[in-house]
Chains A and B, each alone.
Chain A
Amino acid sequence: MGVEINGAVEGPIDRAVLRRLIEHVGGRPGVIHLGNGKSGVLGKLGGYNSAAYYSPWVVLVDLDDDFPCAPAARAAWLPRPAPHMCLRIAVREVEAWLLGDRLQMARFLGVPNSRLPSVPDAVSDPKSLIVEIARTSRRAAVREALVPSPGSGRVVGREYTSWMIEFGASREWWRPQEARATSPSLDRAIDCLDRLLAAVGTSDPPACRSPRPSLSS
């Protein structure tokens, strides 16, 4: 059993992804708080940060259109991170990290690989893109589950959440190791988790800063 890492995320899909990532780096997912949206997470960030003085914490939020880049967002939201706090900002939405495993996502959605974006971090609205790709699926079940009905007023279909959780949570589907190769923002998140684990038990605070300057971190 690895080191327990607690966390906070916006919604259930993010939670499934974060648990996978913690396991991927050899940690053990602890309590992962659901914020019911970004404001829910950011509103409690002070509390999470206090807790991160005592044990490792990961907070995952989407950048959306709030800031031009993740470092600016981080500086505004959490100017003084605790030693064991890792605030990660997915460039748009966590779905971009799922799209990073192109081969498996194409299989999951029943579409040719070529339908998947080669630079998922550059997709402005990954949720809508997944729905648009699902619309062209060979499999009726995929279309029915992920594409919203015309009168629903929603962006996603009725089963979108559970399908994305199924994809993200299952070792048979999503492979973070493959996905990080196409999503630099995921790559940095995994690096950050690695450092967080390595720093536990030592006095060194983990340096959750991007080794490379980029848009996302």
Chain B
Amino acid sequence: MPTMASSTSAGEPLRITRLELRNWRNFAQVDVPLARRVFLVGPNASGKSNLLDSIRFLKDLVEVGGGLQAAIRARGGVSAIRSLSARRQPEVAISVRVGTTSEPDRWEYTLSFSQGTGRTPTIKRETVARNRVVLLDRPLKEDRDDEARLGQTHLEQVNVNREFREVVEFLQGVRYLHIVPQLIRDPERYIGRPNDPYGGDFLEQVARTPRRTQQARLSQIVRALKVAVPQLETLKLEQDAKGRWHLQGKYVHWRPQGAWQSEAQFSDGTLRLAGLLWSLLDGQGPLLLEEPELSVHPGVVRYIPQLIARTQRKTQRQILISTHSPDLLRDEGIGLDEVLLLEPGAEGTTVRPASDIRDVRVLLEGGVSIADAVMPRTEPEHAEQLALSL
């Protein structure tokens, strides 16, 4: 599995510089620039996860065993992807620009598809451009002659994607993490699928890492984890008689030798933080994080943006984070251009950078934190009714 993201000669790795969606789940129309670090903020069910999932969709196109049909099937079919507010247009479309700060339009990939007349989803259009020069614009003549071809993207086909292999490798480097501690602890996790975003194969992923890298990362993780869990002294990976991997942590204890515990005894917060730290160290492609604040003490959560910024200065990789946490957004280094606000409306959810909202800009100039400027906008209008609802 390729893990290296392509980079420019200057060393700055590629990132998604712009994302456009049409009729995609909650979104009738999205067209937003993406910074190297992005915080997605919005009410429950506004589509934060669906926005991240649109990027995972592109990764699924280029995965081994993936492809258009599998990616659509995994999401419940075109009808499940297509926005409820898409009345007239039957097509679902996604477009990304991939580049760097100095070359934001290096690549543009666009894909639109619909259910088609048959049973299989059909590509309506697929385009690839490099520096705005079109390299591919489907349907081609061959596609019109043989419509079955429109069931597969060129992105997923090695024999035709050579000219834009860089985009393919970039998308293969996308990582997604939303660790569910219960899955890591589950002894049946071994039957889980590889690269399980919910962490089912998290320990196997750690075990697959070359030993020296693995040990170096684990000691970095212990150093970081000690901030939240000062009793933790060491982390190591061990295999049991059945071949399952276990994370063993040594805790400073009233016993003179301390005590070893396995992941089954780790707290949810410890496991989630360990997973977050590992994912920051693993890979160079875009990293998608779902609510990294879950189960973590707010006093620790507020430093997650600093942790991410410091990691990014070294790796420059792009990191997209969905969050509900005012503690996380309290960091005064978070730029308005790094915050995307999702606002549901009658015509679907709109997405815009916080820097486009005058009131937010003015509040910040007046000394209000980003958390206090943005979070009230994501709160349900009548949240207090919850208390009276049963």
Interface residue ranges, A against B (CB under 8 Å): 11-12, 34, 36-37, 141, 144-145, 148-149, 151-162
Across-interface contacts of A160 in B (CB, < 8 A)? 332-333
Interface residue ranges, B against A (CB under 8 Å): 37, 299, 302-303, 305-306, 309-310, 313, 330-338, 355, 361, 364-365, 367, 369
Q: How far is the CA of A158 from the CA of B333 in the complex (A)?
A: 4
B335 near A159 with CB under 8 A, answer no
- Among B303, B331, B336, chain A packs the most CB atoms within 10 A around the CB of B331
A152 near B337 with CB under 8 A, answer yes
A12-B302, A144-B313, A161-B306 given as contacts; is B333 within 8 A of A156 (CB)?
yes
B306 near A154 with CB under 8 A, answer no
B332 near A151 with CB under 8 A, answer no
Across-interface contacts of A37 in B (CB, < 8 A)? 367, 369
Given A145-B313, A153-B364, A157-B333, 8 other A-B contacts at CB below 8 A? A12-B303, A151-B355, A152-B336, A152-B338, A154-B332, A158-B334, A160-B332, A161-B333
How many residue pairs link A and B with beta carbons under 8 A? The number is 65
Q: How far is the CA of A93 from the CA of B169 in the complex (A)?
A: 48
Q: Which of A12, A144, A149 contacts B335 (CB under 8 A)?
A: A149
Q: How far is the CA of A157 from the CA of B367 in the complex (A)?
A: 16
CB-nearest residue of chain B to A162: B306
Q: How far is the CA of A75 from the CA of B355 in the complex (A)?
A: 40
A36-B330, A162-B303 given as contacts; is B337 within 8 A of A153 (CB)?
yes
B313 near A159 with CB under 8 A, answer yes
Across-interface contacts of B335 in A (CB, < 8 A)? 148-149, 151-154, 158
CB-nearest residue of chain A to B305: A158
Closest CB in chain B relative to A168 CB, distance in Å? 14
Closest CB in chain A relative to B67 CB, distance in Å? 37
A144-B313, A153-B355, A154-B333 given as contacts; is B338 within 8 A of A159 (CB)?
no
Closest CB in chain B relative to A47 CB, distance in Å? 19
Closest CB in chain B relative to A122 CB, distance in Å? 22
CB-nearest residue of chain B to A145: B313
CB-nearest residue of chain A to B302: A12
Closest CB in chain B relative to A43 CB, distance in Å? 14
CB-nearest residue of chain B to A64: B367
Across-interface contacts of A149 in B (CB, < 8 A)? 335, 337
Q: How far is the CA of A36 from the CA of B331 in the complex (A)?
A: 10
